[in-house]
Amino acid sequence: MSVGVKIILNEGLFLREPQDSKLGRRIIKYSIHLIDAYGFEWFTFKKLAAEIGSTEASVYRYFENKHFLLLYLVNWYWEWVRYLIDIQLINVVDPKLKLKIVIKSLVTASKDNPGVPYVDESILHKIVISEGWKAYHTKSVDEDNTKGFFKAYKELASTVSKILLEVNPGFRYPFALASHLFEMSNDQIFFSRHLPRLTELSEVNNVEEALEEMLNYFMDRLLK
């Protein structure tokens, strides 16, 4: 169904589009694996180059530095979520059902999809959860924002906020709630994994299922 998908990203994020070459796709694939396995601080272009049998200089021809690579990956993820939500929402008219689908998509976006062989979405999702903030909590956030590096996330928030208003036109904070739906979704998974006393999701067998239920519970009450 989604075979051959290519996520189009802001050109300012890269020097050469990595999705268009063999080396580029290896850079994407193995940076995801290394960042997940050892963390973003540990990760360097030198180590990545060693891993894929290339050189530091070659990686630098694709990305200015590792911050841009992280921005690229995080953007890729949110564009992917947006793509999933868009195709799932086709022909759906009931606002409440739309919201349920958005929540389901958010949660299932973390499942690997074979359509893009060089991106393991489930690992990328782990990176977005544990390193995602580092992409926008920097001194360059305002500059990055001007360049449109957060467009995917912002457009998704806009889409969802409209659905929230359809469910309850009187709700006062649709944007805040939309952005918080995303943050909550990721934070709660992080907490359940690492700081279990901070969430009820920890005591559960199927975290994804429980998260979906929790998000629906919160939305129901907030929009009632």
Summarize as ranges the residues that interact with a copy of itself (CB under 8 A). 38-39, 41-42, 130-131, 133-134, 136-139, 141-142, 145, 150, 153-154, 157-158, 172-180, 183-184, 187-188, 190-191, 194-195, 197-201, 214, 217-218, 221-222, 224
Window contacting DNA (CB under 7 A); options: 5-13, 16-24, 102-110, 128-136: 16-24
Largest CA distance in the chain: 57
x/- binding map, residues 65-94, to DNA, per CB under 7 A?
Answer: xxx---------------------------
At residue 12's C-alpha, the angle toward residues 134 and 139, to 5°, is: 35
Cα–Cα distance measured from residue 25 to residue 28, given in angstroms and rounded to the nearest whole number: 5
Q: What six digits make up the tokens of 107?
A: 């949660």
Q: Which is nearer to a copy of itself, 2 or 220 (CB)?
A: 220
* Residues written for the chain: 224
The interface partner of residue 39, options being a copy of itself, DNA, none and the CB cut-off 5 to 8 Å by kind, is a copy of itself
CA distance 77 to 127: 10
